[in-house]
Amino acid sequence: MRDTIATPLRSVLWLGFFGGILVAWWWLYRMAVGMDLDLIGRPGEMAQRMAAMDPRMDMYMPMAEFWPLFAMWAVMMAAMMLPTLVPTLRAYEDLMISANGSWGGWIGVLTGYAIVWLGFAAAITGVQLALLFGGVIDMLGIPKSMLVSGGLLIVVGAFQFTRTKELCHGVCHSPMSYYLGHWRPGALGGLRMGLGLGAFCAVCCWGFMALGFVGGMMSLLWMGLATLFMVLEKLPQIGHRVVKPMGVILMVGGLVVLAWPYVTGG
């Protein structure tokens, strides 16, 4: 089926798509290195000094400013969420044969999806700044209290068992069903469908993004694991089977984090 739609434009679009993902990950790696963080986000001496700074001090600190922080989140969304869009774009590609899909519509779906996640990046940037200036997290986005980290893990894990998660995951896991029920031709139609799919995806995956506040926003290990989990949830063969076990793992992890100071006497 896919051989019948193989065109130079298809190659350019897919290469550009995957090239953008690689550039985003390269940018995040460079930023993590520049902030003196190792693979799991543990700060070195320079990063520790930066994390201890008061964001209200009269000096320029990028992680305490909206636009630099938004840029970081926007690139992070591209690196983490675009890989999860592959099944959705492949499903649309199938409809170029069985329906009146087009490459303009394919670009529209991608654009609409990106717009939603840029909006999410703006929202979570605001949340991070509020938590930073409220003294809940440090400059690296790491909570100052184990109660916050453990509680967030439990909340995100519990969300995996909710009806909202089930409904939104159903759309993300089976994008073809969404296309068949909301089909619109052309680039504008693709944009509208991309906005809808992006909205369902944002509600489905917000928790994995929020978990960045557990280990620090620039933890490459967190970003890699979160991306892997979200990709697994969208795989046709195993997507539905991993949602609840993942929730159990997260809640157990949260309980361990909460109990750790008592176990170690710290």
pLDDT at position 59 is: 41
How far apart CA 166 and CA 103 sit, in angstroms, is: 31
What are the domain boundaries of the chain?
A: 2-264
pLDDT tens by residue, 215-231: 777 788 888 989 999 99
Give phi and psi for 39, each to the nearest 5: -55, -40
**pLDDT tier at 1, thresholds 50, 70, 90:** very low
Confidence of residue 2 (pLDDT cuts 50, 70, 90): very low
Question: If we measure between CA atoms, which residue out of 163, 174, 158 comes closest to residue 247?
Answer: 158
Residue 255 has pLDDT above 90, yes or no: yes
pLDDT of residue 38: 52
Q: What is the arithmetic mean of pLDDT over 110-134?
A: 96
Residue 3 binned pLDDT confidence (cut-offs 50, 70, 90) = very low
Q: What is the 3-state secondary structure (H, E, C) of 38-96?
A: CCCCCECHHHHHHHHCCCCCCCCCHHHCHHHHHHHHHHHHHHHHHHHHHHHHHHHHHHH
Distance CA 166, CA 204 (A): 8
Give me 243's structure tokens: 């949602």
Residue 58 has pLDDT above 60, yes or no: no
Contact predicate 102/187, CB 8 Å? yes
Which band of pLDDT confidence, cut at 50, 70 and 90, is reported for residue 100? Answer: confident
Helix axes 239-264, 220-234, angle to 10 degrees: 150
Task: For residues 78-95, give the mean pLDDT.
Answer: 94
Mean of the pLDDT values across residues 107-117? 98
> What ranges in the chain are assigned the alpha helix state H?
8-34, 45-52, 66-81, 86-98, 103-133, 146-159, 163-173, 175-182, 186-210, 212-215, 220-234, 239-264
**Burial category of 170 from C-beta neighbours within 10 Å (exposed 0-12, middle 13-18, buried 19 and up):** middle
Mean pLDDT of 20-36: 87
CA 3 and chain centroid, separation: 32
Using the predicted structure, report yes or no on whether residue 88 has a pLDDT greater than 70: yes
Amino acid letter, 33: V
pLDDT of 176 reads: 93
* Whole-number Å distance between alpha carbons of 253 and 255: 5
